[in-house]
Structure 1
Amino acid sequence: MPVATAQDGTALSYQVRGSGEPLLLLAGQANNHHWWDGVREDFEADHLTITLDYRGTGDSGKPDAPYTTRGFATDAIAVLDDLGVDRARVYGTSMGGRVAQWLAADHPGRVTALVLGCTSPGGTHGVERDAEVRRSLAQPDREAAERALLELMYTPNWLSRHPGPHQTVGDPAMPAHARRRHLRASAGHDTWDVLPAITAPTLVVHGSDDVFNPAANAPLLTGRIPGASMLMIPGARHAYFEEFREVAGPAVLDFFRRG
């Protein structure tokens, strides 16, 4: 497995598959590259797909130091540099969409097109999940909390037909300190002031029934990023890209081709 080196010396494991235009795929909070296992192949005919294990996950280093979504974007640049990729399409979902916002804002020359999935601008302008959702995830019964998370990610009908294992509910091998660091990074995210500086063509995608990262964030991002367009997928929850891959995948590919 190839490894890049972050600015602070942390090892960053990354994975490359497919061929064509470079496409950086960014996973959700506390997840490694396996987040994309269910849909990655949809992009491989047209793209050299690039994933990474965020610091704290997978085979990357796990320093017990502050993590930020902006820092994760800098780590992603280190991966692109290690590959010799000057410019790439970027598709980030959930926390990966937060990282992608910083990537496009801080490194405009490196991003040719941007897709932001089930994500938020964060800060005081972002729409937070409600108290009931937070309580369902924080309940002391771990099995019940994990079930609550699954039901936020997928519809009951899909879960009944796909019993798992599910790759979108966290890296089980993460140490506790890294989980805390990821949570704080995502909670501290705020790109509101820099979103208007994003110059890459942008598509915002969200599930209409997403209450984990409320769907109301999609029009906020779309209105804040110049020229951005939005796709709201009816009936989809947080993991729209997997459950509704037959809608989301072609829409994202079409956006990239038109760009």
Structure 2
Amino acid sequence: MHLSHQKEEQEPAPAKRSSARIWNILTVLILVTLVCVLSYFVILFLNPNSSLNPFPPGTLNPALLPPTVTVTPRHTLVPTWTPTSMPQAGVETPIPTLVAGPVLRQEVIPTEKPAVMVEPADEYAFELQQGSPSLITASQFHQTASCDWMGVAGQATSLNGEAVRGLFVELGGALTGAESVENLAMTGLAPQYGFGGFEITIANQLIPSEGTLWIQLLDQQNLPLSDRIYFNTYEDCQKNLVIIYFNQVR
């Protein structure tokens, strides 16, 4: 009796083992299914246009795309044909030879020097007024002046046309057959020529000269304010006073 009872208790064991196998199989199937589903979504994510996608994305309408810009040249340069000389066979090209001939020399005819010569220089504050210099008789400003005196006079004006006083006027150069001439005056000391007037005596006799005398404006530090203005003198009582006006330009 005891043995038969033990056999009855041991009979349910095969049923428990079969149920465990079923759960193991189901677990494996679920894992395989999850792996397949994940792989499917990864494929769709990486390639939305895959044939596995039941809802592929729509294609863009070409009409909605912006047109591409094509650069076309405005002018087409057509190569021009340039004729070239082809050497002929058997014909030698003569080499030109130099033949000595008379050399023509152009004769330069000297022209008369201008009455005024301005030295090329940098930009100065004062320039020569148009129409200067002019030659007049000294008796217009000095009624008692004799014919044995000659000089140079004028005036300096500012940008506004007002007289400028206190500038030095230097006379330099040389007269024909005489020693060098050096003299200094100041604007404003000869009011008969204007409030910025000056006057310098050249000589106490009439001596003709041609471009050997000059005057120049200087500031209080003896720095040039104008070019050297060269002028001529004449042995003529009607031209014994040279008038030169300076205008400020900057």
TM-score (norm 1): 0.21
Q: 1 or 2, which has the higher helix percentage?
A: 1
Larger radius of gyration: 2
TM-score (norm 2): 0.22
Q: 1 or 2, which has the higher strand percentage?
A: 2
